Amino acid sequence: MPADTHVEVRDLRLAYGTKEVIHGISFDIRRNEIFGVIGPAQSAKTSLLRCLNRTIEFSPEARVSGSIHVDGEDVRQVKDLYGLRRKIGMVAPLPVGLPISIYDNVAFAPRCAGLTRKGDLDDLVEQCLRQAALWDEVKDRLNSLGTKLSGGQQQRLTIARALSHQPEILCLDEFSIAIDPVTTMRIEDVLKELRKDMTIILVTNLTQQARRLTDRTMFLWNGEIIELDRNAVIFGDQPGDKRTYDYVMGIFG
Amino acid sequence: MSDGTNQRFTETPLVRRKQREERFAQWLFFAMSAAMIVPLLLIVGYLVQRAWPSLSLGFIIDVPVRGMKEGGIWPAFIGTIYLVVLSLAVSAPIGILAAVYLNEYARDNWFNRLINLAVINLAGVPSIVHALFGLGAFVYAARFGYSILSASLTLAIMTLPVIIASTREALASVPRSFREACWNVGATRWQTIKAVVLPNSISGILTGVILQVSRAAGETAPIMFTGAVFFKAVQKGDLFPYNFNEQCMALSMHLYTLSTQVPGVKESIPFATAVVLLGLVLAVNAAAITLRVWLRNRKKW
């Protein structure tokens, strides 16, 4: 595997019960790239992310085969599952502020990992909230509840929480569907900063967002890869597959 | 305004019929729910009226005298508290922990389905059958004898399945997205339960447990077979009159014996006993409601 490959997926299949939703896909994600995943609903984008950090195992009827390697290590063989999940930051489509204080929301993951020194935690919480473009709005009320924030603030809190365990890969699953365009742009700027430190997987329904942000984009449809290429190709006049062109141009189906 | 628009809003026979049906339906449903108040008022009113001559604080803290024909109910009152507290001290921890396992950890396999089936069926067992089980298991097999311990354990087994059910319901009311958010950042299930699930379901869990107080206090059969006794000499107002290996008196049992076994009891005494039992239960329920309202106001999402 080439040195700059961060995630390597080979012949991944996923079935819920007898219904197969991912039909044997293979692709690589390079280190420090922003990797876009686009595709209509039901194309197994979210399931793919859940395979990556193995939260798919919380769906008892899910059956996974094939392999996913992160840094050359097979995720299905890892000894420290919780360490794996901390290595991969995950931001869900709908913002979830946990019903604990804003500070505790961000300090939760580091505490679970065993970090307890107050000073270290304070620094980390501030750093993550700054990275998520939320610090200025909440610095005076870190003890109020995370659930009391507005939707857009909660989504940035979710991002701060995902950064709090210092992941090497950050997965964003349609992070912008619950927040306004201005906040979305601020977070997009944040992502451009973060890519220096980590690999970013961006699942999005907004093809323009993928075009703006990503280096390469994968078009997933019904659990199969239609096309995976550089943005210039995917969003260009002549992508490799006509369906890609139709989807990106919004004349799909 | 033209005639056309006018006519669109006139009452037709169909409209009148719908309105009639609507009024009838609303009245019927209201009458049925209002009817719930009537039995409660009648029961309480009748009991208090018949019990009036004996009702006083002294009645609660006095001991029975002259072969239980006169005096108070202290030994039974304190005995009921002993039984309830001890039985819930056993069943609440076991029930809550079991419910946490069933709701948070258990996968859907044959063994856990068996546990679920056992819980449901245990909840359906009549109390007299629990009484016989307690007699065999605790009084004889475990050699606890006829004692507060045996009676409390029997009550504990009786309340356990209901505590499990109410606790599971409280746990299930915490949104799954909270749990997934915790799992995503590498928290174990226990860390998730500790940080998010339990703090947000504690009001429902406690309410479920407290409501079992009234059941444990009211049951007669299970304690009659295992540890409640006809009469026990106790000091007036003594807070710790019993040992766990002794038998005790209890309000429900006392009410039964006064009403059926003792000739020549002053007429108002059984009614006053019933009022105290009912008052105890209602007070506990009121406490549960207060607690629930207080905790719900602190609800965080």
Question: A193 is written with which tokens?
Answer: 């900063």
Contacting residues of B for A58, CB less than 8 Å apart? 180, 183
What number is the average pLDDT over the span B105-115?
87
Min distance A24 CA to chain B CA atoms (Å)? 25
Q: What does the mean pLDDT of chain A come to?
A: 87
Contact B184 A85 (CB under 8 A): yes
pLDDT in tens, B223-239: 888 888 777 777 777 77
Residues B275, B281, B283, B285: what is their CA dihedral angle, to the nearest 10 degrees? -150
- Considering only CB atoms, A86 lies closest to which of B177, B186, B191, namely B186
pLDDT confidence band for B21 (50 / 70 / 90) = very high
- Considering only CB atoms, B191 lies closest to which of A53, A60, A112, namely A112
Contact A33, A199 (CB under 8 A): yes
Distance of alpha carbon B285 from alpha carbon B121, whole angstroms: 26
User: Which one, of A99, A107, A95, lies nearest residue A145 by Cα?
Assistant: A99
Q: Which domains does chain B have, with CATH numbers?
A: 72-297 (1.10.3720.10)
pLDDT in tens, B243-287: 787 888 888 888 888 888 777 777 888 888 899 999 988 888 888
A16 and chain B in contact, CB less than 8 A? no
pLDDT confidence band for B1 (50 / 70 / 90) = very low
ipTM of the complex: 0.85
Contacting residues of A for B295, CB less than 8 Å apart? none
Distance of alpha carbon B250 from alpha carbon B230, whole angstroms: 9
Residues of B with CB under 8 A from a CB of A: 107-108, 177-178, 180-188, 191, 195-196, 199-200, 300-301
Contact A145 B300 (CB under 8 A): yes
Kindly tell me if the per-residue pLDDT of B30 is higher than 90. Answer: yes
pLDDT in tens, B209-218: 988 888 888 8
pLDDT confidence band for B3 (50 / 70 / 90) = low
pLDDT confidence band for B301 (50 / 70 / 90) = low
Contact A98 B200 (CB under 8 A): no
Q: Which domains does chain A have, with CATH numbers?
A: 5-249 (3.40.50.300)
Contact B234, B74 (CB under 8 A): yes
Q: What does the mean pLDDT of chain B come to?
A: 86
Kindly tell me if the per-residue pLDDT of B5 is higher than 60. Answer: no
Chains A and B: how many Cβ contacts under 8 Å? 72
User: Which one, of A128, A136, A125, A133, lies nearest residue A103 by Cα?
Assistant: A125
What number is the average pLDDT over the span A59-79?
88
What is residue B215's predicted lDDT score, i.e. its pLDDT?
86
pLDDT confidence band for B170 (50 / 70 / 90) = very high
Contact A96 B107 (CB under 8 A): no
Q: Report the alpha-carbon angle A35-A41-A43, nearest 5.
A: 60
